[in-house]
Amino acid sequence: MAKCFALIGWSLPVIESMQKTGRPFVVVSFPDFEPYAAENNIPFVSYQLDEWSDTSNSINLYEKLKAFDADVAVPLYEETVEWAGALNSIYRGDPRVLNRAFLFRNKAMMKRKALIGGLRVGLFEEVYNKEGVKAFMKRLNQANLQLDGEEDSWVHIKPFASAGTVGHRLLRSMSDVDEKCEEGDFPCLAESHLPGREFSCEAFINKGKIRFLNITEYVKLGYSNFIPEGRYLESKRDLIHKEVQKMVDIFGIEYGMVHPEWFLTENDELNFGETACRIPGGHILELCSKSYEFDALAAFVICHDPNITEEELDEIFPAKDFKPKNYHGNVMIYPRKRQFSKLEIPESLNEEPYFVEHTLVAPLEGQKLSSDRDGFGNHFGTINFRGEDPDRMTELLKHYEEEDFYV
Helix (H) or strand (E) run with residue 25 in it: strand 25-29
pLDDT of residue 296: 98
pLDDT of residue 52: 60
The DSSP symbol for 362 reads: P
pLDDT of residue 374: 46
pLDDT of residue 56: 61
Return the closest-CA partner of residue 103 out of 93, 113, 95, 94: 113
Q: Which segments of 252-335 does DSSP mark as H helices, in order?
A: 284-292, 296-302, 310-316
Residues 6+ apart with CB under 8 A from 297: 11, 13, 14, 17, 279, 285, 286, 289
Q: Is the dihedral of CA 178, 184, 185, 187 positive or negative?
A: positive
Longest CA span, the chain: 67
Return the closest-CA partner of residue 72 out of 54, 81, 84: 84
pLDDT of residue 367: 67
**What is the bridge-based pairing of β-strands 382-387 and 327-332?**
antiparallel
Contact yes or no for 297/289 (Cβ under 8 A) = yes
Contact yes or no for 34/21 (Cβ under 8 A) = no
pLDDT of residue 370: 54
E strands of 121-260, at which residues? 124-127, 155-158, 169-171, 188-192, 197-206, 209-220, 224-227, 255-258
Measured CA to CA, the distance from residue 73 to residue 386 in angstroms comes to 34
Half-sphere exposure of 314 (CA within 13 A, CB side): 5
Measured CA to CA, the distance from residue 88 to residue 281 in angstroms comes to 24
Instruction: Report pTM.
Output: 0.91
The tens place of each residue's pLDDT in the chain, 407 residues long, gives: 899 999 999 999 999 999 999 999 999 999 999 999 999 999 999 998 876 655 467 889 999 999 999 999 999 999 899 999 999 999 999 999 999 999 999 989 999 999 999 999 999 999 999 999 999 999 999 998 988 889 999 999 988 877 666 677 889 999 999 999 998 899 999 999 898 999 999 999 999 999 999 999 999 988 999 999 999 999 999 999 999 999 999 999 999 999 999 999 999 999 999 999 999 988 999 999 999 999 999 999 999 999 999 999 999 999 999 999 999 999 999 887 778 888 999 999 999 999 999 999 888 766 666 554 444 446 789 999 999 999 999 999 999 999 999 88
Contact yes or no for 181/159 (Cβ under 8 A) = no
Contact yes or no for 181/230 (Cβ under 8 A) = no
* 320 φψ region: left (φ > 0), alpha (ψ -120 to 50), beta (else): alpha
Q: Which amino acid would we find at residue 93?
A: G
Measured CA to CA, the distance from residue 386 to residue 353 in angstroms comes to 8
Measured CA to CA, the distance from residue 102 to residue 85 in angstroms comes to 8
